[in-house]
Amino acid sequence: MTDKIVHGGGITEAARQYGGRPEDWLDLSTGINPNPVALPEVPVSAWHRLPDQHLQERAREAARGYYRSGDILPLPVPGTQSVIQLLPRLVIGGSIAILSPTYGEYARAFTLAGLKVRQVSTIADLTSDDRLVVVVNPNNPDGRMLPVDRLHDLHDRQRQLGGILLVDEAFGDVEPEASVAPYAASMPGLIIFRSFGKFFGMAGLRLGFVIAEASIMARFEDWLGPWAVSGPALSIATSLMESDTSAIRDRILQRRLALERILRHSGLHVAGGTALFALVADERTEGIYTHLCRHHILVRKFDYARNWLRFGLAPDEEADRKLAGALESDDFRSVRPKI
Protein backbone atom coordinates (compact mmCIF):
# COMPACT_ATOMS: atom_id res chain seq x y z
CA MET A 1 0.00 0.00 0.00
CA THR A 2 1.35 3.42 -0.99
CA ASP A 3 1.73 5.74 1.99
CA LYS A 4 -0.89 8.44 2.37
CA ILE A 5 0.22 11.90 1.32
CA VAL A 6 0.36 14.69 3.88
CA HIS A 7 -1.40 17.74 2.48
CA GLY A 8 -1.92 21.26 3.79
CA GLY A 9 -4.19 21.79 6.75
CA GLY A 10 -3.86 19.82 9.95
CA ILE A 11 -4.25 22.71 12.38
CA THR A 12 -5.80 20.43 15.01
CA GLU A 13 -2.78 18.12 15.08
CA ALA A 14 -0.37 21.06 15.07
CA ALA A 15 -2.16 22.62 18.02
CA ARG A 16 -1.96 19.34 19.93
CA GLN A 17 1.80 19.27 19.43
CA TYR A 18 2.66 22.95 19.87
CA GLY A 19 -0.22 24.23 22.00
CA GLY A 20 -2.90 26.84 21.61
CA ARG A 21 -6.44 26.57 20.36
CA PRO A 22 -6.80 25.57 16.69
CA GLU A 23 -8.95 28.64 16.00
CA ASP A 24 -6.16 30.93 17.19
CA TRP A 25 -3.58 29.52 14.78
CA LEU A 26 -2.70 31.20 11.47
CA ASP A 27 -3.06 28.53 8.78
CA LEU A 28 -0.77 29.28 5.84
CA SER A 29 -0.40 25.64 4.85
CA THR A 30 -2.97 25.57 2.03
CA GLY A 31 -3.25 27.20 -1.39
CA ILE A 32 -6.78 28.49 -0.83
CA ASN A 33 -8.09 32.04 -0.97
CA PRO A 34 -8.11 33.00 2.75
CA ASN A 35 -11.00 35.43 2.18
CA PRO A 36 -14.00 33.34 1.15
CA VAL A 37 -16.57 35.28 -0.81
CA ALA A 38 -19.99 36.03 0.63
CA LEU A 39 -22.40 33.17 0.13
CA PRO A 40 -25.12 33.95 -2.40
CA GLU A 41 -28.68 33.10 -1.50
CA VAL A 42 -29.44 29.41 -1.94
CA PRO A 43 -33.06 28.47 -2.73
CA VAL A 44 -34.68 26.28 -0.08
CA SER A 45 -35.48 23.74 -2.80
CA ALA A 46 -31.75 23.17 -3.34
CA TRP A 47 -31.51 21.89 0.24
CA HIS A 48 -34.84 20.11 0.25
CA ARG A 49 -34.71 18.14 -3.01
CA LEU A 50 -32.24 15.98 -4.84
CA PRO A 51 -30.31 18.05 -7.40
CA ASP A 52 -32.67 18.59 -10.33
CA GLN A 53 -31.31 18.44 -13.86
CA HIS A 54 -31.92 22.14 -14.38
CA LEU A 55 -29.51 22.96 -11.52
CA GLN A 56 -26.73 21.03 -13.20
CA GLU A 57 -27.54 22.54 -16.60
CA ARG A 58 -27.39 26.07 -15.19
CA ALA A 59 -24.10 25.34 -13.43
CA ARG A 60 -22.62 23.91 -16.62
CA GLU A 61 -23.68 26.97 -18.60
CA ALA A 62 -22.18 29.26 -15.97
CA ALA A 63 -18.96 27.23 -15.99
CA ARG A 64 -18.78 27.40 -19.78
CA GLY A 65 -18.85 31.19 -19.60
CA TYR A 66 -16.48 31.39 -16.66
CA TYR A 67 -13.88 28.99 -18.08
CA ARG A 68 -14.47 30.16 -21.68
CA SER A 69 -14.76 26.58 -22.87
CA GLY A 70 -16.71 27.33 -26.05
CA ASP A 71 -18.85 24.43 -27.23
CA ILE A 72 -18.00 22.30 -24.20
CA LEU A 73 -20.24 22.35 -21.14
CA PRO A 74 -17.92 21.53 -18.21
CA LEU A 75 -18.98 18.64 -16.01
CA PRO A 76 -19.39 19.43 -12.29
CA VAL A 77 -17.77 16.86 -10.00
CA PRO A 78 -17.49 16.55 -6.19
CA GLY A 79 -13.96 17.96 -6.13
CA THR A 80 -11.31 17.09 -8.68
CA GLN A 81 -9.83 14.59 -6.22
CA SER A 82 -12.87 12.42 -6.91
CA VAL A 83 -12.00 12.14 -10.61
CA ILE A 84 -8.27 11.71 -9.99
CA GLN A 85 -9.29 8.41 -8.34
CA LEU A 86 -11.09 7.44 -11.57
CA LEU A 87 -8.28 8.25 -14.01
CA PRO A 88 -6.72 4.75 -13.99
CA ARG A 89 -9.89 3.45 -15.65
CA LEU A 90 -9.10 5.52 -18.73
CA VAL A 91 -5.67 3.98 -19.29
CA ILE A 92 -5.22 0.75 -21.22
CA GLY A 93 -1.59 -0.29 -21.61
CA GLY A 94 1.50 1.85 -21.64
CA SER A 95 2.72 4.08 -18.86
CA ILE A 96 1.68 7.32 -17.16
CA ALA A 97 4.08 10.24 -17.18
CA ILE A 98 3.64 12.99 -14.58
CA LEU A 99 5.56 16.24 -14.93
CA SER A 100 7.09 16.38 -11.45
CA PRO A 101 7.43 17.30 -8.68
CA THR A 102 3.75 18.12 -8.37
CA TYR A 103 0.51 17.24 -6.59
CA GLY A 104 1.21 13.77 -5.21
CA GLU A 105 -2.24 12.22 -5.50
CA TYR A 106 -1.80 11.59 -9.22
CA ALA A 107 1.13 9.24 -8.75
CA ARG A 108 -0.58 7.63 -5.77
CA ALA A 109 -3.83 6.91 -7.66
CA PHE A 110 -2.06 5.31 -10.61
CA THR A 111 0.37 3.37 -8.43
CA LEU A 112 -2.44 1.93 -6.31
CA ALA A 113 -4.13 0.81 -9.54
CA GLY A 114 -0.99 -1.17 -10.45
CA LEU A 115 -0.04 1.03 -13.40
CA LYS A 116 3.46 2.01 -14.44
CA VAL A 117 4.12 5.58 -13.32
CA ARG A 118 7.04 7.71 -14.49
CA GLN A 119 7.69 11.02 -12.77
CA VAL A 120 9.58 13.14 -15.30
CA SER A 121 11.18 16.53 -14.85
CA THR A 122 10.80 17.83 -18.41
CA ILE A 123 8.71 17.18 -21.51
CA ALA A 124 11.90 16.00 -23.21
CA ASP A 125 11.83 12.97 -20.88
CA LEU A 126 8.57 11.65 -22.35
CA THR A 127 8.57 8.42 -24.34
CA SER A 128 6.24 6.87 -26.92
CA ASP A 129 5.02 4.46 -24.23
CA ASP A 130 3.44 7.27 -22.18
CA ARG A 131 -0.27 6.85 -22.86
CA LEU A 132 -1.33 9.53 -20.39
CA VAL A 133 0.66 12.66 -19.55
CA VAL A 134 -0.24 14.76 -16.50
CA VAL A 135 0.69 18.45 -16.34
CA VAL A 136 -0.38 20.66 -13.42
CA ASN A 137 -0.39 24.18 -14.84
CA PRO A 138 0.40 26.39 -13.00
CA ASN A 139 2.19 23.79 -10.95
CA ASN A 140 1.86 23.06 -7.27
CA PRO A 141 4.16 23.77 -5.46
CA ASP A 142 6.77 25.56 -7.60
CA GLY A 143 4.46 27.52 -9.93
CA ARG A 144 6.04 26.15 -13.12
CA MET A 145 3.93 27.27 -16.10
CA LEU A 146 3.88 25.81 -19.58
CA PRO A 147 2.66 28.29 -22.19
CA VAL A 148 -0.44 27.48 -24.22
CA ASP A 149 1.53 26.79 -27.41
CA ARG A 150 3.68 24.19 -25.60
CA LEU A 151 0.54 22.48 -24.36
CA HIS A 152 -0.84 22.46 -27.91
CA ASP A 153 2.34 20.78 -29.09
CA LEU A 154 2.21 18.27 -26.25
CA HIS A 155 -1.42 17.48 -27.05
CA ASP A 156 -0.58 16.93 -30.73
CA ARG A 157 2.16 14.55 -29.67
CA GLN A 158 -0.17 12.56 -27.44
CA ARG A 159 -2.87 12.44 -30.07
CA GLN A 160 -0.48 11.02 -32.65
CA LEU A 161 0.42 8.30 -30.15
CA GLY A 162 -3.22 7.59 -29.36
CA GLY A 163 -2.78 8.93 -25.83
CA ILE A 164 -4.31 11.49 -23.50
CA LEU A 165 -3.07 14.80 -22.10
CA LEU A 166 -4.41 15.87 -18.72
CA VAL A 167 -3.92 19.51 -17.71
CA ASP A 168 -4.80 20.33 -14.11
CA GLU A 169 -5.58 24.05 -13.86
CA ALA A 170 -6.60 24.07 -10.21
CA PHE A 171 -4.68 27.31 -9.62
CA GLY A 172 -5.50 28.89 -12.97
CA ASP A 173 -8.34 31.29 -12.14
CA VAL A 174 -6.14 34.34 -11.61
CA GLU A 175 -4.49 33.91 -15.03
CA PRO A 176 -7.28 32.83 -17.43
CA GLU A 177 -5.17 33.73 -20.46
CA ALA A 178 -2.87 30.79 -19.62
CA SER A 179 -5.72 28.24 -19.78
CA VAL A 180 -6.21 25.78 -22.64
CA ALA A 181 -9.94 25.57 -21.88
CA PRO A 182 -10.88 27.93 -24.76
CA TYR A 183 -9.27 25.47 -27.21
CA ALA A 184 -10.57 22.24 -25.71
CA ALA A 185 -13.33 21.73 -28.28
CA SER A 186 -10.72 21.33 -31.02
CA MET A 187 -8.40 19.15 -28.92
CA PRO A 188 -9.80 15.60 -28.59
CA GLY A 189 -7.94 13.53 -26.04
CA LEU A 190 -7.44 16.57 -23.79
CA ILE A 191 -8.78 16.57 -20.22
CA ILE A 192 -8.79 19.72 -18.09
CA PHE A 193 -9.46 19.75 -14.36
CA ARG A 194 -10.59 22.97 -12.70
CA SER A 195 -11.01 23.59 -8.98
CA PHE A 196 -13.83 25.82 -7.77
CA GLY A 197 -12.96 26.12 -4.08
CA LYS A 198 -9.42 27.47 -4.25
CA PHE A 199 -10.14 30.79 -5.98
CA PHE A 200 -13.47 31.43 -4.27
CA GLY A 201 -12.19 30.32 -0.85
CA MET A 202 -14.72 27.51 -0.55
CA ALA A 203 -12.72 24.30 -0.51
CA GLY A 204 -15.26 22.79 1.87
CA LEU A 205 -17.89 22.91 -0.89
CA ARG A 206 -15.99 20.06 -2.62
CA LEU A 207 -16.63 21.13 -6.19
CA GLY A 208 -14.61 20.97 -9.37
CA PHE A 209 -15.17 20.78 -13.12
CA VAL A 210 -13.96 18.54 -15.93
CA ILE A 211 -13.56 19.92 -19.45
CA ALA A 212 -13.10 17.26 -22.12
CA GLU A 213 -14.72 15.68 -25.15
CA ALA A 214 -18.26 14.40 -24.52
CA SER A 215 -17.32 10.70 -24.47
CA ILE A 216 -14.76 11.18 -21.69
CA MET A 217 -17.06 13.33 -19.57
CA ALA A 218 -19.86 10.79 -20.03
CA ARG A 219 -17.61 8.08 -18.61
CA PHE A 220 -16.74 10.18 -15.57
CA GLU A 221 -20.41 11.01 -15.04
CA ASP A 222 -21.34 7.33 -15.25
CA TRP A 223 -18.59 6.30 -12.82
CA LEU A 224 -19.55 8.99 -10.30
CA GLY A 225 -23.20 7.97 -10.34
CA PRO A 226 -26.35 10.09 -9.87
CA TRP A 227 -26.45 13.24 -7.72
CA ALA A 228 -22.68 13.39 -7.35
CA VAL A 229 -22.74 17.14 -6.70
CA SER A 230 -25.17 18.64 -4.18
CA GLY A 231 -27.87 21.12 -5.12
CA PRO A 232 -26.51 23.86 -2.83
CA ALA A 233 -23.03 23.48 -4.38
CA LEU A 234 -24.46 23.80 -7.89
CA SER A 235 -26.55 26.81 -6.88
CA ILE A 236 -23.65 28.61 -5.19
CA ALA A 237 -21.28 27.91 -8.07
CA THR A 238 -23.75 29.19 -10.65
CA SER A 239 -24.28 32.47 -8.84
CA LEU A 240 -20.56 33.11 -8.27
CA MET A 241 -19.37 32.13 -11.73
CA GLU A 242 -21.95 34.44 -13.28
CA SER A 243 -20.79 37.35 -11.11
CA ASP A 244 -17.97 39.85 -11.56
CA THR A 245 -14.93 38.18 -9.98
CA SER A 246 -12.41 40.97 -10.60
CA ALA A 247 -12.51 42.12 -6.95
CA ILE A 248 -11.69 38.57 -5.80
CA ARG A 249 -8.73 38.44 -8.15
CA ASP A 250 -7.47 41.87 -7.07
CA ARG A 251 -7.66 40.94 -3.39
CA ILE A 252 -5.75 37.71 -3.98
CA LEU A 253 -3.00 39.59 -5.82
CA GLN A 254 -2.80 42.17 -3.01
CA ARG A 255 -2.46 39.41 -0.42
CA ARG A 256 0.19 37.64 -2.52
CA LEU A 257 2.23 40.84 -2.80
CA ALA A 258 2.01 41.38 0.96
CA LEU A 259 3.21 37.82 1.60
CA GLU A 260 6.17 38.16 -0.73
CA ARG A 261 7.23 41.42 0.90
CA ILE A 262 7.26 39.80 4.34
CA LEU A 263 9.22 36.77 3.16
CA ARG A 264 11.83 38.78 1.30
CA HIS A 265 12.20 41.26 4.16
CA SER A 266 12.93 38.29 6.42
CA GLY A 267 15.69 37.10 4.13
CA LEU A 268 13.79 34.09 2.82
CA HIS A 269 14.26 33.11 -0.81
CA VAL A 270 11.00 32.92 -2.77
CA ALA A 271 11.76 30.22 -5.32
CA GLY A 272 8.36 30.08 -7.01
CA GLY A 273 4.64 29.82 -6.42
CA THR A 274 1.31 30.97 -7.82
CA ALA A 275 -1.09 33.76 -6.94
CA LEU A 276 -2.34 31.65 -4.01
CA PHE A 277 0.96 30.63 -2.41
CA ALA A 278 4.71 31.23 -2.35
CA LEU A 279 7.39 28.55 -2.31
CA VAL A 280 10.42 29.21 -0.12
CA ALA A 281 13.68 27.32 -0.67
CA ASP A 282 16.12 27.18 2.22
CA GLU A 283 18.36 24.60 3.88
CA ARG A 284 16.98 25.52 7.31
CA THR A 285 13.36 24.67 6.55
CA GLU A 286 12.89 22.27 9.48
CA GLY A 287 14.01 24.93 11.93
CA ILE A 288 11.88 27.60 10.25
CA TYR A 289 8.86 25.29 10.24
CA THR A 290 9.24 24.46 13.94
CA HIS A 291 9.84 28.11 14.84
CA LEU A 292 6.63 29.16 13.10
CA CYS A 293 4.67 26.37 14.79
CA ARG A 294 5.86 27.64 18.17
CA HIS A 295 4.33 30.98 17.16
CA HIS A 296 1.16 29.11 16.12
CA ILE A 297 1.65 29.57 12.40
CA LEU A 298 1.36 26.52 10.15
CA VAL A 299 3.04 26.27 6.75
CA ARG A 300 3.47 23.32 4.39
CA LYS A 301 6.61 21.22 4.27
CA PHE A 302 7.43 18.43 1.82
CA ASP A 303 8.84 14.98 2.41
CA TYR A 304 10.30 14.85 -1.11
CA ALA A 305 11.99 18.28 -0.95
CA ARG A 306 13.41 18.92 2.51
CA ASN A 307 14.53 22.44 1.56
CA TRP A 308 11.04 23.64 0.55
CA LEU A 309 8.30 25.36 2.53
CA ARG A 310 5.05 26.57 1.01
CA PHE A 311 3.39 29.67 2.45
CA GLY A 312 -0.27 30.30 1.70
CA LEU A 313 -1.85 33.73 1.79
CA ALA A 314 -2.63 35.50 5.05
CA PRO A 315 -6.20 36.84 5.20
CA ASP A 316 -5.49 40.40 6.31
CA GLU A 317 -3.01 42.95 7.66
CA GLU A 318 -3.34 41.66 11.23
CA ALA A 319 -2.25 38.21 10.06
CA ASP A 320 0.58 39.84 8.11
CA ARG A 321 1.82 41.38 11.33
CA LYS A 322 1.68 38.03 13.12
CA LEU A 323 3.77 36.37 10.42
CA ALA A 324 6.22 39.28 10.19
CA GLY A 325 6.55 39.35 13.97
CA ALA A 326 7.43 35.66 14.10
CA LEU A 327 10.04 36.07 11.36
CA GLU A 328 11.55 39.14 13.03
CA SER A 329 11.54 37.80 16.58
CA ASP A 330 14.73 37.37 18.59
CA ASP A 331 14.28 33.61 18.77
CA PHE A 332 14.35 33.41 14.96
CA ARG A 333 18.03 34.33 14.91
CA SER A 334 19.10 30.72 15.42
CA VAL A 335 17.38 29.66 12.20
CA ARG A 336 17.51 32.95 10.25
CA PRO A 337 19.04 32.48 6.79
CA LYS A 338 22.13 34.48 6.01
CA ILE A 339 21.26 37.63 4.03
- pLDDT 10s digits, 90-146: 998 899 999 999 999 999 999 999 999 999 999 999 999 999 999 999 999 999 999
Q: Which residues pair with 211 in a beta bridge?
A: 192
pLDDT value of residue 1? 46
pLDDT tens-place string over residues 210-242: 999 999 999 999 999 999 999 999 999 999 999
pLDDT value of residue 93? 87
pLDDT value of residue 38? 95
pLDDT value of residue 339? 46
Residues 291 and 268 in one domain: yes
Residues 212 and 87 in one domain: yes
**DSSP category for residue 14:** H
Residues 282 and 168 in one domain: no
Give the residue from 213, 242, 271 where a domain finishes: 242
Residues 60 and 81 in one domain: yes
Residues 131 and 210 in one domain: yes
CA atoms within 13 A on the CB side of 226: 4
Q: CA 297, CA 319: separation in Å to the nearest integer?
A: 10
pLDDT value of residue 3? 66
In a domain, 164, yes or no: yes
Contact indicator for 118, 128 with CB cutoff of 8 Å: no
pLDDT value of residue 113? 96
Q: For residues 135, 137, 141 and 142, what is the CA-based torsion angle, rounded to 10 degrees?
A: 100
pLDDT value of residue 323? 98
The segments of the chain whose pLDDT lies below 70 read 1-6, 8, 336-339
pLDDT value of residue 5? 67
Residues 158 and 210 in one domain: yes
Residues 188 and 329 in one domain: no
pLDDT value of residue 321? 98
